[in-house]
Structure 1
Amino acid sequence: MLYGIAAATAALLLAAVLAAMLRGLALRAGIVDRRLQRRLPLLGGFAVVAVTCLVAWAGEWSGIAPLGDGVGRLLAAAAALAGLGLVADVWRLRARVLVAGTAVAAVCVVPYEETGVAGGVLAVGWIVVASLAFKGLDHADGLAGTVGVVTAFGAGACAAAEVLDGLAALLSVFAAALTGFLMHNWPPARIGLGACGSLFTGFLLSSSIVLTRAGYELAPSAAVAVCFGAVAVADAVLVVLARRLARRPLLRRGPDHLAHPLRRLGLTPAGSVVLLGAGSFSSVLVGVLVHTGWTGEGAALWVGGGVLLAVAVLLRIPARIPVQRPPHMTSVQVRGPLRVRNG
C-alpha cells in the first residue's frame, strides 16, 4: 500500500515536470500539431511513457512490485508501439504503418493458451481497433488524458479483483503519470499526447482488459470491452459515418470528432471534456460491475445503445468545414456541400 502511494505520487510529479521540460524542446524541434490556429507541441506522450516505464521498472528491479512475465511483456510491447508513434509525430508515418505496428504488438501480448486461437484473433482485432480509436480522442485538449485516467482506474480495479497485482500496480502508475500530464493538457493545452502517448494509452488499456478477461466466456468479455471503450468507439464511429455521408476521405482530418459538434452546440472546450469524461466514467463503471458480477452482461446493451444514440444525435449537427480560397476569393464557412462565392 505504501509503495503504491509513493509510486503514484512519484509518477504524477515526474510526468508533470518532464512534460513542462519537453514543451520547449518540442517547439524548437518542430514536433508540433496545428490546433485552432496555434502550434501544440507533441512530446507530452513521451513524458507519460518514459515516467510509466521508469517507475514500473523501479518496482520490478527492487522486487517491491514485480510485474510478472505477462505484464512485463505488455509494457515492453506498449513502449515499442509508443516509439513507433514518436516516429509518426516527427515524420508523419502513413496510417497503414501504425495499423501494422499495432497489430504486431497486439500479437505479442495476447495469452493464446487462455483465449484459444479464435479468441486470440478477436483479441488482437479488439486491441488494434481500440488503440487506433483512442488515438482519435487526441483531437481535443484534455480529452484523451481524461478518458485515459478514468479507464485506467476502472481497468486497475478489474485487475485487482482478479488478484493481478502487477497489472494493477502498472495501471495505477500509468493513471498517475497521465494525471501529471493533464496539468499541462487541460484546455487550453500547452502540450499534447501525440501518436506516441495516445497509441501507448489505447494499447495499454485495451490489452489490460484482454489480460484481465482471459479465460472468461466471450460474450461477457465482449460486454466489458464495449463498456471500457465506449467513448473511443463512439468517436471512431461518428468520424467514419460523418465522412462517409459527406463523401470526404476517411484519413483527412476534419471537425467531425465527438468534441466538435459539442462545441457547435455551445459547450466550452473544458465543458465538452467534462461531459465526455462523465460519459466515460459511467460506461467504465458498468464495465467494472459486469466484470465483478454485480450485474449481468445485458447492462452493456444500455451502454451500446447510448453510444448509438449519441452518434445519431451528433450526426445531425452540420459540420462547418473551413474553405481555403485563392487570394482573389473570399474564404467562407458553409454547412453541407462546399460552395464557392466570388469575392
Structure 2
Amino acid sequence: MAAAAPVRDRIVPVRRPPACQYADMRILRILAALVIAVAALSACAPTPQPQPTADAATPTSTPMPRPSAPPTGPVLAYDGECASVFADPAAVLGFDAEALPGDADLPTGLVTLGGLKCSWVAVGGTFEAVTLMALPVTQVPEELRSRFATTACEWSFDTPYCHLAGSVGETWVMVSKRALDEVGTPPDLAPVLAAALERAATVPAPIAATPTDEWWDSVDCATVEQAAGIAEVYAPATFEPGYPAGFGSWPTDGMLASTDQWCPWYSYETSEAVWMNLLPGAGSQWDDVDFTGATPVDVVGAEAAVLVTVDDNLGLVDEREVLYATDGTNVLRIQMSPIPLEDLAARVFAGMADAGR
C-alpha cells in the first residue's frame, strides 16, 4: 500500500452518508452544502417541522456469513492503488484528469469487503469526472450485476449519473459518470470499463475480510439507538431517526451497509443532530491509517481513539471534529453529537457489548 497522506488531507466528515460519497465529489459537496443550508433555515422557522424524508432512510445491514475457516483478508482490488487502475488515465477517460484521494488508507466498510473506490476529475474546473468501484463478485447482489450490465442512468444527489458494470474472474467493476444532459443521455462508458477490466485481470482478485465472532453483528440503527440509550441521554429533547434533508443514494449503498452502517438522528426541538457510522471488522485497518495530526483521546471500551479536525464540507461550520475509535475489531466514527463525542462513543461500545453484538 502506498504511503498515506496526513489524515487531515484525507478524512472528510461524511463518506456515505457512508457510504458512501461518490462520483465527482466536488459537485456533491456543493450540493450537500446547499441542501443542508436550506434544511437549517427551515429548522429555525416557527411552523411545524416535517418528519425525516424517505431520502434519509438508511439501509439495514445483512450479517455477513461466518465461515469456520481462520480469518483472512481483506485483499483489495487493484492492490488498493487507484494509480494502478489506468496506465494513462487521460487517454482512457478522454480528459486531462487528476485522481482524488482514494479510500484504501482509511477505516471504511468498502475496504473490509476488499473493495476500492477511485475518482478522477478534470483538471481546469470543468466538473467532468469518472468514478470507479471494484469489489469481489461474491459481494455484489445479482440484481445489481444485472441492472448495470448495460449502461443505465439514475438520479443521485439531484444529478443524473450513468453506470456500467462488468466482471473478470472474481472482480466486479462499475464505472460511473454524469449524464451528458438533464434528460439522461448516457456517455460512452464502454471503453473505460474495458480498460478497467483488462487491468483487473492482471492483478490479484479482491477478497473480503472473513467475519469473526467479535464483529458487530446485524448492525442496524434501531439496535444502536436502543443499545446506546439515545432517547435517555438526550432527554428531554426528542431525537427522531433520520435527517430532515436527504443526501440521495448511490447504487452500491445497500450492499455496503453490512460493513458501514450510517445512523443519523435529528431533533426538531433543538435543531441538533447525531451522526455516526458503525464499521464491523474495520479494526484490522487501524494500523494502516496515518493519523498524523490527530489528537489521541480516551474512550471507555475502546483500545484506541483519535479526534480529527476536518474542514466541514456540509457548510454548517468552518471546521468540525470527527471521532474514530476501535475496540480492536470494529470501528466507530462519530461526527455530530450534542454531548462530547467520547461520551457517546463509550455508550455505543458498552451498549453493543451488552447487546451481544
Q: Same fold (TM over 0.5)?
A: no
Which structure's residues are more often strand, by fraction? 2
If the TM-score is normalised by the length of the shorter chain, which range does it land in? Answer: under 0.3
Which structure's residues are more often helix, by fraction? 1
